[in-house]
Each structure stands twice: as structure tokens, then as C-alpha cells.
A and B are shown apart, each in its own frame.
Chain A
Amino acid sequence: QKEVEQNSGPLSVPEGAIASLNCTYSDRGSQSFFWYRQYSGKSPELIMSIYSNGDKEDGRFTAQLNKASQYVSLLIRDSQPSDSATYLCAVKSNTGNQFYFGTGTSLTVIP
């Protein structure tokens, strides 16, 4: 079983819509969760971090965490073509300092 699983997509949404990205993880003791955006040919860029159950909002982005269900999601409101990228979910190991990354979800926002 992979440590972090994401739907690889591709996910296509029209401009202005809400994009919903999902991630599940296997380490029940994990406490730190992150979403990264990676444009083609570029390195990952941190979008959000979340540590507590519930929602965390930052501009058009909302991260949602449910530790009981071992589930993390990212909502992008008012999606823009510039949001087209691969989104990586990362979970910090409960027993060390390493992060486990999902395989990423490719998002395309259609103008």
C-alpha cells in the first residue's frame, strides 16, 4: 500500500469553477500535511499546510483535513487557467522527518 494516494487525473474544470483534489494517507499517526503545486518543468511550490482537523482557507484555496478518515483535500475556488498544474499531496512521516509525496493530480482549467 502506498503511503499517500491521489487520483492522477487528469482533472479538467472550466474557468471559474471549483476544482476538488483529494488525497488519502496510510500513516494514522501523521500530524502534518501539505499541498504543493508543480508547473511543468518547474519544482514544487508550497500552497498550503494543515495540521488540525477541519478547514483552512488561504485566498482561493481551502485545505480540508479529516484525520479519522485519513483524508486531505484541496479546493480551488474560481479556478483560473494559471491554476493548470500538477498538485502534489505530501504527508510527514509520524516516525521521522521525511515527507511522503503522492503521485500528483494533473489539473487543467479550461478558459
Chain B
Amino acid sequence: SAVISQKPSRDICQRGTSLTIQCQVDSQVTMMFWYRQQPGQSLTLIATANQGSEATYESGFVIDKFPISRPNLTFSTLTVSNLSPEDSSIYLCSVAQGPGQPQHFGDGTRLSIL
């Protein structure tokens, strides 16, 4: 399966700032997703990153807070804006080769807010 590199692996940020997380895949993939996993909880889908167009956001997540880019079939970024303590979480990108195909995850970004 594809090799997925996610950066940074962890960061500590100040309130009110933003963090951009990068997800790089070593081969072209059809689908890329961004998830959040809060401590002790399961994965919640933030959005589907669409190549060349605006991301598709799940209920409760908005573009102003979580802008996403996907300029090509191997790369995507997620920005978490105007950080607050509630944003402390693990953020994960995942990729799939097509609808119904398994998703594979990057190593995640552990974000803490001071």
C-alpha cells in the first residue's frame, strides 16, 4: 500500500495561532481524508479533500476553522485555525484508491495548545 508521510508528528501551539499539517503520499491516490481523534475516543471525519476543488466538510466542521488544500493527487494540507484548548487532539490523514476501498492512515499529528 501507499507510503503516507504526515508532518509535523507533534506540535505545541499558542492559543489564537494556526497550524498547518501536511500529508504526502508516494503514489497517486483517488481519495484523501482528514480525521480528528480526541484522547480515548474514536475517529471523527473532518472532511474529504478533493483534488482541485473545495473540500467536503462533515457536519460540525467548517472551512474557516479547518481550511484544506489538495493541489494534486499526492498531497494535501489541513490547517487548524484560531487554536483553542479544545483543538488539542490527534489529526490523521488517510488515503484510499477508490470508493469502497480500504483507507490507510498516516502516523498522525499530535497537537497540544498552551
Q: Could you list which residues of chain A lie within 8 angstroms of chain B, going by C-beta atoms?
A: 31-32, 34, 42-46, 49, 51, 88, 90, 92, 97-99, 101-104
| Binary CB contact string for chain B from 7 to 43 against chain A (1 if under 8 A, 0 otherwise) | 0000000000000000000000001010000000111
Residues of B within 8 A of A (CB): 1, 31, 33, 41-45, 48, 58, 92, 96, 99-100, 102-108
**Contacts A46-B104, A97-B99, A98-B45 known; 15 new A-B pairs at CB < 8 A:** A31-B100, A34-B102, A42-B107, A42-B108, A43-B106, A46-B1, A88-B42, A90-B103, A92-B99, A97-B31, A99-B33, A101-B43, A101-B44, A102-B42, A104-B42
Chain A nearest CB, measured from B73 CB (Å): 15
Nearest CB of chain B from residue A9's CB, rounded to whole Å: 12
| Residue of chain B at shortest CB distance from A32 | B100
| Contact A44–B100 (Cβ < 8 Å) | no
